[in-house]
Protein backbone atom coordinates (compact mmCIF):
# COMPACT_ATOMS: atom_id res chain seq x y z
CA UNK A 1 0.00 0.00 0.00
CA UNK A 2 2.92 2.30 0.89
CA UNK A 3 4.47 1.73 -2.52
CA UNK A 4 1.10 2.34 -4.09
CA UNK A 5 0.70 5.52 -2.05
CA UNK A 6 4.19 6.68 -3.05
CA UNK A 7 3.36 5.98 -6.66
CA UNK A 8 0.20 8.00 -6.27
CA UNK A 9 2.12 10.93 -4.81
CA UNK A 10 4.70 10.73 -7.58
CA UNK A 11 1.94 10.61 -10.16
CA UNK A 12 0.25 13.60 -8.52
CA UNK A 13 3.53 15.53 -8.59
CA UNK A 14 4.02 14.59 -12.21
CA UNK A 15 0.49 15.72 -13.04
CA UNK A 16 1.16 18.99 -11.21
CA UNK A 17 4.38 19.64 -13.09
CA UNK A 18 2.70 18.74 -16.39
CA UNK A 19 -0.04 21.25 -15.58
CA UNK A 20 2.52 23.91 -14.68
CA UNK A 21 4.46 23.30 -17.90
CA UNK A 22 1.32 23.41 -20.02
CA UNK A 23 0.35 26.73 -18.42
CA UNK A 24 3.83 28.08 -19.03
CA UNK A 25 3.60 27.08 -22.71
CA UNK A 26 0.33 29.02 -22.97
CA UNK A 27 1.89 32.09 -21.30
CA UNK A 28 4.90 31.96 -23.63
CA UNK A 29 4.50 34.54 -26.43
CA UNK A 30 4.42 32.62 -29.70
CA UNK A 31 4.77 33.18 -33.42
CA UNK A 32 2.62 31.05 -35.75
CA UNK A 33 3.88 30.84 -39.32
CA UNK A 34 2.03 27.82 -40.72
CA UNK A 35 -1.73 27.79 -40.11
CA UNK A 36 -4.30 27.02 -42.83
CA UNK A 37 -7.51 28.97 -42.30
CA UNK A 38 -9.95 26.16 -43.03
CA UNK A 39 -7.89 23.65 -41.07
CA UNK A 40 -7.97 25.89 -38.00
CA UNK A 41 -11.76 26.16 -37.63
CA UNK A 42 -13.17 25.19 -34.23
CA UNK A 43 -15.00 21.86 -34.08
CA UNK A 44 -17.99 23.57 -32.44
CA UNK A 45 -18.33 25.96 -35.39
CA UNK A 46 -17.99 23.14 -37.92
CA UNK A 47 -20.67 21.17 -36.12
CA UNK A 48 -22.98 24.18 -36.02
CA UNK A 49 -22.46 24.81 -39.74
CA UNK A 50 -22.97 21.11 -40.50
CA UNK A 51 -26.21 21.13 -38.50
CA UNK A 52 -27.50 24.12 -40.49
CA UNK A 53 -26.67 22.47 -43.83
CA UNK A 54 -28.06 19.17 -42.53
CA UNK A 55 -31.37 20.88 -41.66
CA UNK A 56 -31.50 22.31 -45.19
CA UNK A 57 -30.91 18.80 -46.58
CA UNK A 58 -27.64 19.80 -48.28
CA UNK A 59 -25.58 17.24 -46.35
CA UNK A 60 -26.24 14.29 -44.03
CA UNK A 61 -25.41 15.73 -40.60
CA UNK A 62 -24.77 12.39 -38.88
CA UNK A 63 -22.13 11.37 -41.43
CA UNK A 64 -20.42 14.72 -41.10
CA UNK A 65 -20.54 14.71 -37.31
CA UNK A 66 -18.70 11.39 -37.17
CA UNK A 67 -16.03 12.61 -39.55
CA UNK A 68 -15.45 15.86 -37.68
CA UNK A 69 -15.24 14.21 -34.27
CA UNK A 70 -12.96 11.40 -35.43
CA UNK A 71 -9.40 11.36 -34.14
CA UNK A 72 -6.50 9.93 -36.21
CA UNK A 73 -6.52 11.02 -39.83
CA UNK A 74 -4.38 9.78 -42.72
CA UNK A 75 -3.06 12.29 -45.23
CA UNK A 76 -5.63 11.20 -47.80
CA UNK A 77 -8.47 11.40 -45.29
CA UNK A 78 -7.35 14.96 -44.49
CA UNK A 79 -7.84 16.06 -48.04
CA UNK A 80 -11.25 14.40 -48.24
CA UNK A 81 -12.11 16.24 -45.05
CA UNK A 82 -11.02 19.56 -46.52
CA UNK A 83 -13.50 19.07 -49.35
CA UNK A 84 -16.15 18.63 -46.68
CA UNK A 85 -14.93 21.66 -44.70
CA UNK A 86 -15.09 23.75 -47.84
CA UNK A 87 -18.73 22.75 -48.34
CA UNK A 88 -19.43 24.05 -44.84
CA UNK A 89 -17.53 27.32 -45.21
CA UNK A 90 -18.40 28.37 -48.78
CA UNK A 91 -20.29 31.61 -48.32
CA UNK A 92 -18.76 35.01 -47.65
CA UNK A 93 -20.30 35.47 -44.20
CA UNK A 94 -18.99 32.12 -43.03
CA UNK A 95 -15.50 32.89 -44.32
CA UNK A 96 -15.64 36.15 -42.35
CA UNK A 97 -16.82 34.33 -39.23
CA UNK A 98 -14.20 31.57 -39.30
CA UNK A 99 -11.43 34.10 -39.88
CA UNK A 100 -12.53 36.10 -36.85
CA UNK A 101 -12.74 33.01 -34.66
CA UNK A 102 -9.40 31.61 -35.79
CA UNK A 103 -7.65 34.87 -34.87
CA UNK A 104 -9.39 34.92 -31.48
CA UNK A 105 -8.36 31.34 -30.80
CA UNK A 106 -4.71 31.97 -31.62
CA UNK A 107 -4.72 35.16 -29.51
CA UNK A 108 -6.11 33.19 -26.57
CA UNK A 109 -3.00 31.00 -26.85
CA UNK A 110 -0.79 34.11 -26.61
CA UNK A 111 0.18 33.99 -30.24
CA UNK A 112 1.50 37.51 -30.82
CA UNK A 113 2.20 37.21 -34.54
CA UNK A 114 0.09 35.05 -36.84
CA UNK A 115 0.42 34.32 -40.53
CA UNK A 116 -2.81 32.75 -41.75
CA UNK A 117 -2.63 31.06 -45.10
CA UNK A 118 -5.69 30.40 -47.21
CA UNK A 119 -6.57 29.39 -50.77
CA UNK A 120 -8.59 32.14 -52.50
CA UNK A 121 -11.59 30.36 -54.00
CA UNK A 122 -13.84 30.98 -57.00
CA UNK A 123 -17.37 29.73 -56.45
CA UNK A 124 -19.83 30.86 -59.08
CA UNK A 125 -22.86 29.42 -57.29
CA UNK A 126 -22.13 31.69 -54.31
CA UNK A 127 -21.11 34.68 -56.44
CA UNK A 128 -17.63 34.27 -55.04
CA UNK A 129 -14.40 35.25 -56.77
CA UNK A 130 -10.88 34.88 -55.40
CA UNK A 131 -10.99 38.61 -54.69
CA UNK A 132 -14.36 38.56 -52.90
CA UNK A 133 -13.22 35.52 -50.87
CA UNK A 134 -10.18 37.49 -49.70
CA UNK A 135 -12.33 40.54 -48.95
CA UNK A 136 -14.43 38.29 -46.71
CA UNK A 137 -11.25 37.09 -44.94
CA UNK A 138 -10.07 40.66 -44.40
CA UNK A 139 -13.50 41.65 -43.12
CA UNK A 140 -13.09 38.86 -40.57
CA UNK A 141 -9.79 40.34 -39.41
CA UNK A 142 -11.34 43.77 -39.10
CA UNK A 143 -14.30 42.58 -37.06
CA UNK A 144 -12.32 40.83 -34.33
CA UNK A 145 -13.30 42.46 -31.05
CA UNK A 146 -11.76 40.29 -28.37
CA UNK A 147 -8.23 41.36 -29.28
CA UNK A 148 -6.63 44.22 -31.17
CA UNK A 149 -5.58 43.01 -34.61
CA UNK A 150 -2.62 44.83 -36.09
CA UNK A 151 -2.85 44.35 -39.84
CA UNK A 152 -0.32 46.94 -40.91
CA UNK A 153 3.25 47.67 -39.95
CA UNK A 154 3.28 50.27 -37.20
CA UNK A 155 5.99 52.42 -35.79
CA UNK A 156 7.20 50.45 -32.77
CA UNK A 157 8.45 53.60 -31.07
CA UNK A 158 4.93 55.02 -31.06
CA UNK A 159 3.57 51.84 -29.58
CA UNK A 160 4.58 50.92 -26.07
CA UNK A 161 1.56 48.87 -25.06
CA UNK A 162 2.46 45.34 -23.93
CA UNK A 163 1.03 42.92 -26.46
CA UNK A 164 0.16 39.77 -24.65
CA UNK A 165 -1.32 40.92 -21.39
CA UNK A 166 1.76 39.64 -19.57
CA UNK A 167 2.15 40.74 -15.97
CA UNK A 168 -1.57 41.03 -15.33
CA UNK A 169 -2.01 43.85 -17.84
CA UNK A 170 -5.74 44.39 -18.29
CA UNK A 171 -5.61 46.23 -21.61
CA UNK A 172 -6.73 44.44 -24.75
CA UNK A 173 -4.25 41.91 -26.08
CA UNK A 174 -2.68 42.66 -29.44
CA UNK A 175 -1.86 40.32 -32.24
CA UNK A 176 -0.13 40.99 -35.52
CA UNK A 177 -1.91 39.15 -38.33
CA UNK A 178 -0.68 38.74 -41.89
CA UNK A 179 -2.06 36.70 -44.78
CA UNK A 180 -0.42 34.27 -47.19
CA UNK A 181 -2.30 33.23 -50.31
CA UNK A 182 -2.12 29.52 -51.01
CA UNK A 183 -1.88 28.00 -54.45
CA UNK A 184 -3.72 24.66 -54.33
CA UNK A 185 -1.87 21.86 -56.13
CA UNK A 186 -5.09 21.07 -58.03
CA UNK A 187 -4.98 24.47 -59.73
CA UNK A 188 -3.89 25.27 -63.28
CA UNK A 189 -0.95 27.56 -64.12
CA UNK A 190 -3.40 30.34 -64.99
CA UNK A 191 -5.26 29.99 -61.66
CA UNK A 192 -1.96 29.96 -59.76
CA UNK A 193 -0.89 33.13 -61.59
CA UNK A 194 -4.22 34.75 -60.65
CA UNK A 195 -3.45 34.05 -56.99
CA UNK A 196 0.01 35.63 -57.24
CA UNK A 197 -1.42 38.70 -58.98
CA UNK A 198 -4.10 38.95 -56.30
CA UNK A 199 -1.44 38.81 -53.59
CA UNK A 200 0.32 41.71 -55.31
CA UNK A 201 -2.91 43.71 -55.56
CA UNK A 202 -3.68 43.13 -51.88
CA UNK A 203 -0.25 43.81 -50.47
CA UNK A 204 -1.51 46.95 -48.73
CA UNK A 205 -4.22 44.95 -47.01
CA UNK A 206 -2.14 42.55 -44.97
CA UNK A 207 -1.28 40.01 -47.70
CA UNK A 208 2.45 39.37 -47.57
CA UNK A 209 3.27 36.04 -49.12
CA UNK A 210 2.50 33.00 -51.24
CA UNK A 211 2.21 29.36 -50.18
CA UNK A 212 2.09 26.19 -52.26
CA UNK A 213 -0.05 23.53 -50.61
CA UNK A 214 -2.73 20.92 -51.20
CA UNK A 215 -2.76 17.17 -51.65
CA UNK A 216 0.91 16.27 -52.23
CA UNK A 217 0.10 13.32 -54.48
CA UNK A 218 -1.77 15.60 -56.89
CA UNK A 219 -0.24 17.89 -59.52
CA UNK A 220 3.14 18.66 -61.03
CA UNK A 221 5.80 21.15 -59.97
CA UNK A 222 6.00 22.47 -63.57
CA UNK A 223 2.38 23.63 -63.32
CA UNK A 224 3.05 26.02 -60.42
CA UNK A 225 6.57 27.04 -61.32
CA UNK A 226 5.58 29.96 -63.61
CA UNK A 227 3.44 31.43 -60.82
CA UNK A 228 6.14 30.91 -58.20
CA UNK A 229 8.76 32.48 -60.50
CA UNK A 230 6.40 35.40 -61.05
CA UNK A 231 6.02 35.87 -57.29
CA UNK A 232 9.79 35.74 -56.92
CA UNK A 233 10.21 38.44 -59.57
CA UNK A 234 7.64 40.60 -57.80
CA UNK A 235 9.58 40.20 -54.56
CA UNK A 236 6.75 38.36 -52.76
CA UNK A 237 8.07 35.95 -50.09
CA UNK A 238 7.22 32.31 -50.73
CA UNK A 239 6.80 29.25 -48.52
CA UNK A 240 6.40 25.77 -50.00
CA UNK A 241 5.10 22.48 -48.59
CA UNK A 242 8.01 20.17 -49.14
CA UNK A 243 8.41 16.40 -48.80
CA UNK A 244 5.04 15.48 -47.31
CA UNK A 245 5.46 12.42 -49.52
CA UNK A 246 8.69 10.97 -50.91
CA UNK A 247 8.57 12.66 -54.31
CA UNK A 248 12.36 12.77 -54.97
CA UNK A 249 12.16 14.87 -58.13
CA UNK A 250 9.95 17.51 -56.58
CA UNK A 251 11.93 17.73 -53.33
CA UNK A 252 15.05 18.51 -55.42
CA UNK A 253 13.16 21.10 -57.44
CA UNK A 254 11.77 22.80 -54.34
CA UNK A 255 15.21 22.93 -52.70
CA UNK A 256 16.71 24.32 -55.93
CA UNK A 257 13.99 26.97 -56.07
CA UNK A 258 15.12 28.27 -52.67
CA UNK A 259 11.91 29.72 -51.23
CA UNK A 260 12.08 31.93 -48.12
CA UNK A 261 10.64 29.13 -45.96
CA UNK A 262 9.71 25.45 -46.22
CA UNK A 263 6.88 23.56 -44.56
CA UNK A 264 7.12 20.00 -43.14
CA UNK A 265 10.26 18.54 -44.87
CA UNK A 266 9.31 15.01 -43.79
CA UNK A 267 10.50 12.56 -46.41
CA UNK A 268 14.00 13.80 -47.26
CA UNK A 269 16.86 11.38 -48.02
CA UNK A 270 20.49 11.78 -46.93
CA UNK A 271 21.59 14.09 -49.74
CA UNK A 272 18.44 16.17 -49.46
CA UNK A 273 19.01 16.65 -45.72
CA UNK A 274 22.52 17.87 -46.45
CA UNK A 275 21.25 20.26 -49.08
CA UNK A 276 18.51 21.57 -46.77
CA UNK A 277 20.93 22.10 -43.90
CA UNK A 278 23.46 23.94 -46.01
CA UNK A 279 20.67 26.13 -47.46
CA UNK A 280 19.66 27.35 -43.98
CA UNK A 281 16.10 27.83 -45.26
CA UNK A 282 13.87 28.13 -42.16
CA UNK A 283 11.53 25.17 -41.67
CA UNK A 284 7.97 25.32 -40.33
CA UNK A 285 7.75 22.24 -38.10
CA UNK A 286 4.31 20.68 -37.62
CA UNK A 287 4.77 17.84 -35.10
CA UNK A 288 1.21 16.68 -34.45
CA UNK A 289 0.20 17.02 -38.08
CA UNK A 290 3.19 14.98 -39.30
CA UNK A 291 2.64 12.20 -36.78
CA UNK A 292 -1.09 12.02 -37.49
CA UNK A 293 -0.67 11.91 -41.26
CA UNK A 294 2.30 9.51 -41.17
CA UNK A 295 4.91 12.02 -42.38
CA UNK A 296 6.88 11.20 -39.21
CA UNK A 297 6.85 7.73 -37.60
CA UNK A 298 6.32 9.08 -34.06
CA UNK A 299 6.91 12.18 -31.97
CA UNK A 300 10.15 10.69 -30.61
CA UNK A 301 11.45 9.97 -34.12
CA UNK A 302 10.31 13.28 -35.62
CA UNK A 303 12.99 15.10 -37.65
CA UNK A 304 12.61 18.09 -35.32
CA UNK A 305 15.35 16.60 -33.12
CA UNK A 306 17.86 16.27 -35.94
CA UNK A 307 17.23 19.79 -37.28
CA UNK A 308 17.23 21.29 -33.77
CA UNK A 309 20.54 19.62 -32.90
CA UNK A 310 21.99 20.85 -36.19
CA UNK A 311 20.90 24.40 -35.16
CA UNK A 312 18.84 24.66 -38.33
CA UNK A 313 16.39 27.64 -38.30
CA UNK A 314 13.03 26.27 -37.14
CA UNK A 315 9.64 27.44 -35.98
CA UNK A 316 6.97 25.29 -34.36
CA UNK A 317 3.57 25.51 -36.06
CA UNK A 318 0.14 23.92 -35.86
CA UNK A 319 -0.68 23.42 -39.58
CA UNK A 320 -4.37 22.66 -38.96
CA UNK A 321 -5.15 23.13 -35.28
CA UNK A 322 -8.85 22.27 -35.75
CA UNK A 323 -8.32 19.23 -37.92
CA UNK A 324 -5.60 17.82 -35.66
CA UNK A 325 -7.04 18.99 -32.31
CA UNK A 326 -3.90 20.82 -31.28
CA UNK A 327 -2.77 24.34 -30.39
CA UNK A 328 0.55 26.13 -30.67
CA UNK A 329 0.96 25.94 -26.87
CA UNK A 330 0.46 22.20 -27.12
CA UNK A 331 3.15 21.93 -29.83
CA UNK A 332 5.63 23.66 -27.48
CA UNK A 333 4.57 21.36 -24.66
CA UNK A 334 5.15 18.33 -26.88
CA UNK A 335 8.68 19.50 -27.64
CA UNK A 336 9.35 19.90 -23.91
CA UNK A 337 7.87 16.53 -22.95
CA UNK A 338 9.29 14.56 -25.89
CA UNK A 339 12.74 16.08 -26.37
CA UNK A 340 13.37 17.46 -22.88
CA UNK A 341 13.90 21.11 -23.85
CA UNK A 342 14.11 23.46 -20.86
CA UNK A 343 11.98 26.58 -20.50
CA UNK A 344 14.93 28.73 -21.56
CA UNK A 345 15.35 26.59 -24.70
CA UNK A 346 11.63 26.73 -25.50
CA UNK A 347 11.71 30.49 -25.03
CA UNK A 348 14.65 30.75 -27.43
CA UNK A 349 12.87 28.56 -29.98
CA UNK A 350 9.81 30.79 -29.85
CA UNK A 351 11.88 33.99 -29.99
CA UNK A 352 13.93 32.75 -32.97
CA UNK A 353 10.76 32.47 -35.06
CA UNK A 354 10.55 36.29 -35.07
CA UNK A 355 13.45 36.31 -37.51
CA UNK A 356 11.53 34.19 -40.04
CA UNK A 357 8.29 36.21 -40.24
CA UNK A 358 7.43 37.66 -43.65
CA UNK A 359 6.38 41.01 -42.14
CA UNK A 360 8.72 43.98 -42.36
CA UNK A 361 11.45 45.22 -40.05
CA UNK A 362 9.13 47.44 -37.97
CA UNK A 363 7.16 44.40 -36.91
CA UNK A 364 10.31 42.41 -36.18
CA UNK A 365 11.69 45.22 -34.03
CA UNK A 366 8.45 45.39 -32.09
CA UNK A 367 8.37 41.61 -31.60
CA UNK A 368 12.00 41.50 -30.47
CA UNK A 369 11.15 44.11 -27.83
CA UNK A 370 8.16 42.10 -26.72
CA UNK A 371 10.24 38.96 -26.27
CA UNK A 372 12.86 40.90 -24.33
CA UNK A 373 10.18 42.07 -21.90
CA UNK A 374 8.61 38.62 -21.66
CA UNK A 375 11.96 36.96 -20.92
CA UNK A 376 12.22 38.82 -17.62
CA UNK A 377 8.87 37.46 -16.53
CA UNK A 378 9.07 33.92 -17.85
CA UNK A 379 12.65 32.75 -17.37
C1 LIG B 1 -0.87 20.27 -47.64
C2 LIG B 1 -2.64 21.38 -46.68
C3 LIG B 1 -2.40 20.71 -45.44
O4 LIG B 1 -6.69 27.14 -47.82
O5 LIG B 1 -9.02 26.34 -47.59
N6 LIG B 1 -3.68 22.19 -46.49
N7 LIG B 1 -1.87 21.16 -47.75
N8 LIG B 1 -0.59 19.60 -46.51
C9 LIG B 1 -1.33 19.77 -45.40
N10 LIG B 1 -1.03 19.01 -44.29
C11 LIG B 1 -1.98 18.22 -43.62
N12 LIG B 1 -3.29 21.15 -44.55
C13 LIG B 1 -4.06 22.06 -45.21
O14 LIG B 1 -7.27 25.66 -45.91
C15 LIG B 1 -7.36 24.30 -46.23
C16 LIG B 1 -6.45 23.92 -47.39
O17 LIG B 1 -5.06 24.04 -46.96
C18 LIG B 1 -4.27 23.03 -47.56
C19 LIG B 1 -5.20 22.21 -48.45
O20 LIG B 1 -5.15 22.70 -49.77
C21 LIG B 1 -6.57 22.47 -47.83
O22 LIG B 1 -7.62 22.28 -48.74
P23 LIG B 1 -7.80 26.83 -46.88
O24 LIG B 1 -8.12 27.95 -45.94
- Is residue 369 a contact partner of residue 156, using CB atoms and an 8 Å limit? yes
The closest residue, in CA terms, to atom 2 on ligand 1 is: 214
For ligand 1, the distance from its centroid to the CA atom of residue 214, given in whole angstroms, is: 5
Any atom of ligand 1 within 6 Å of the Cβ of 82: yes
Out of 214, 262, 263, 265, mutate this one to test ligand 1's pocket (max ligand atoms within 8 Å of CB): namely 214
**What would the pLDDT profile of 315-341 be if each residue is shown by its tens digit?**
999 999 999 999 999 999 999 999 999
Q: Which DSSP string corresponds to 228-278?
A: HHHHHHHT--EEEEE-SS--HHHHHHHHHH--SEEEE--S--HHHHHHHHH
Q: Let me know if 77 is a catalytic residue.
A: no
Coil vs helix vs strand at 183: strand
For ligand 1, the distance from its centroid to the CA atom of residue 378, given in whole angstroms, is: 34
Any atom of ligand 1 within 6 Å of the Cβ of 39: yes
At what angle are helices 270-279 and 248-257 packed, to 10 degrees? 10
Residue 62 pLDDT: 84
- Is residue 317 a contact partner of residue 264, using CB atoms and an 8 Å limit? no
Choose among 214, 219, 165: nearest CA to 188. 219
Exposure string (b/e) for 244-261, b if CB count within 10 Å is 16 or more?
Answer: bbebeebbebbbebebbb
CA angle 37, 38, 41 (to 5 degrees): 90
**What would the pLDDT profile of 38-95 be if each residue is shown by its tens digit?**
999 998 999 999 999 999 988 888 877 777 776 667 888 888 889 888 999 989 999 9
For residue 75, the ligand 1 atom closest to its alpha carbon is: 11
For ligand 1, the distance from its centroid to the CA atom of residue 245, given in whole angstroms, is: 15
**What would the pLDDT profile of 183-196 be if each residue is shown by its tens digit?**
999 999 999 999 99
CB within 8 Å of 225: residues ≥ 6 apart: 253, 257
Choose among 181, 182, 164: nearest CA to 173. 164
Tell me the ipTM for this assembly.
1.00
**What would the pLDDT profile of 359-370 be if each residue is shown by its tens digit?**
999 999 999 999
Bridge partners (DSSP) listed for residue 156: none
For ligand 1, the distance from its centroid to the CA atom of residue 348, given in whole angstroms, is: 28
- Is residue 292 a contact partner of residue 322, using CB atoms and an 8 Å limit? no
Out of 74, 101, 182, 242, mutate this one to test ligand 1's pocket (max ligand atoms within 8 Å of CB): namely 182
Residue 218 pLDDT: 97
Choose among 35, 18, 29, 21: nearest CA to 324. 35
**Using CA atoms, how far apart are residues 62 and 96, in angstroms rounded to an integer?**
26
Any atom of ligand 1 within 6 Å of the Cβ of 38: yes
- Is residue 18 a contact partner of residue 100, using CB atoms and an 8 Å limit? no
Amino acid sequence: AAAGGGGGAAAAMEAESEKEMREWCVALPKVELHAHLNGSVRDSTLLELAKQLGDKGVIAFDDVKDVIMKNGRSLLECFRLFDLYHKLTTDHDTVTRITREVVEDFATENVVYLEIRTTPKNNEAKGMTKRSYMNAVIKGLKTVEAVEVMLFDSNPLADKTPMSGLGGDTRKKKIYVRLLLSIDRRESTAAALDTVNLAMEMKDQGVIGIDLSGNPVVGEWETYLPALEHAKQLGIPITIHCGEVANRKEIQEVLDFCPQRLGHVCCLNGDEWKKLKSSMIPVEICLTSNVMTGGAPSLELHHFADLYNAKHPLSLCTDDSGLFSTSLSNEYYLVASTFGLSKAELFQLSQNAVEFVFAGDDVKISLRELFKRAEKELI
